[in-house]
A and B are shown apart, each in its own frame.
Chain A
Amino acid sequence: MKILTETDSKYKEIELHVCNSALTDEVRAIVGELHEIYDYTISGTDEIGNKRMIRRAEILSAYSEGQRVIVLTGDGRYVVQKKLYELETELGDASFIRISKSEIVNIHKIKSLDLSITGTIRLVMKTGYETYVSRRNVSKIKEKLTKEKLEGRA
């Protein structure tokens, strides 16, 4: 199977084309997987009660706050009617990783990690959002990024 990447100003958004001589089961499976990844949405409610559908790619972080689970996007915080572990399973692709007992983040939105002199590990997302990582999850983040990098090269 060939995977081609083409960049051209004629494309206004990302397009994924699956090309083959016939509509085989493999093609159906690939298309199904792509729909699973890109069509995933979750319903969230903002602070004033407005509902909104959130796409997977928009999610920066999901964390538990008391009994609630909050999904953070570039434009706000939304309460979702799911447990964090359920959300983690649903989002369970290469893009998301658990950084502590109470939070998962989109690995592609990480800007940097910072180790303080006392050993606190602060994570800064590309949007400026800051949070903390537990020590044992640092190596998992590294492994995931390394794996993605190697797969990207292959």
Chain B
Amino acid sequence: MREVLKRGFISFALSSFAGLIVNLIIDVIMSGTLGEGFISMSPDYVVLFPSVTIAAYVNILLYGVIGATFSLSAYIYEVEKIGFIIQSIIYFVITSSVCVGITILLWQLHKYPSAFISTLAGYFATHVIMMVIEYRKLKADIKAINEMSADED
């Protein structure tokens, strides 16, 4: 349990920090181009909070939640008795649910259906491709192991 909490905390902190740096870079660059006052947050998101500062803090924390979700969901891959196809499906459902929820809140993605669908479809397709590649690699590795084990007899 301690290991889980540690992993969750570290990934939360790292993701929040990375999100902060990325937002900072975008703000600095865009302020130089578009003039002062640019903030890398959707106006529809900002109005949900009493002030821009609170919206920015929550934004950073949500990046942390995304990072922690990806990191903690990866624990499912360590349960050997669950097949990796099932593991991948569970991982996809958890990570996409959290990410979709957060991106809807942060970027108001639900207001842009085509962007919403293509983002989700892209993530799904990437996941399926990775699953197929991994399955084929596993199959090849297992075949090689079985051949070598048979040679030992």
Give residues in A with beta carbon < 8 Å to B.
100-101, 108, 110-121, 132-136, 138-139, 141-142, 145-146, 149
Known contacts being A113-B142, A113-B145, A138-B145, is A108 close to B152, with CB within 8 Å? Answer: yes
0/1 string, B125-153, CB within 8 A of A gives 1 = 00000000011001101101110111110
Q: Which of B47-55, B78-86, B115-123 contacts A (4 or more CB under 8 A)?
A: B78-86
Shortest A138–chain B CB gap in Å is 5
Cβ–Cβ contact A145 & B77, under 8 A? no
Nearest neighbor of B82 in chain A, beta-carbon distance:
A120
Nearest neighbor of B151 in chain A, beta-carbon distance:
A149
Known contacts being A121-B80, A139-B141, is A110 close to B85, with CB within 8 Å? Answer: no
| Chain A residues whose CB sits within 8 angstroms of the CB of B144 once the complex forms | 142, 145-146
Looking at chain A's contact residues, the main secondary structure is mixed
| Chain A residues whose CB sits within 8 angstroms of the CB of B78 once the complex forms | 100-101, 134
0/1 string, B75-98, CB within 8 A of A gives 1 = 001101111111110000000000
| Chain A residues whose CB sits within 8 angstroms of the CB of B141 once the complex forms | 138-139, 141-142
Q: Can you list the 10 inter-chain pairs with the closest CB atoms, starting with the nearest?
A: A118-B83, A119-B84, A119-B83, A132-B80, A120-B83, A119-B85, A145-B148, A113-B142, A134-B80, A100-B80
Shortest B76–chain A CB gap in Å is 11
Known contacts being A134-B78, A135-B134, A138-B141, is A116 close to B83, with CB within 8 Å? Answer: yes
Cβ–Cβ contact B142 & A119, under 8 A? no
Shortest B104–chain A CB gap in Å is 31
A-B residue pairs in contact (CB < 8 Å), sample of 5: A110-B145, A112-B149, A120-B80, A121-B80, A146-B144
Known contacts being A116-B83, A118-B85, is A135 close to B138, with CB within 8 Å? Answer: yes
B81, B138, B146, B151: the one within 8 Å of A132 (CB): B81
| Chain A residues whose CB sits within 8 angstroms of the CB of B149 once the complex forms | 110-112, 145
| Chain B residues whose CB sits within 8 angstroms of the CB of A133 once the complex forms | 80
Shortest B87–chain A CB gap in Å is 7
Cβ–Cβ contact B148 & A149, under 8 A? yes
Nearest neighbor of B147 in chain A, beta-carbon distance:
A145
Nearest neighbor of B139 in chain A, beta-carbon distance:
A115
Known contacts being A138-B138, A149-B151, is A119 close to B86, with CB within 8 Å? Answer: yes
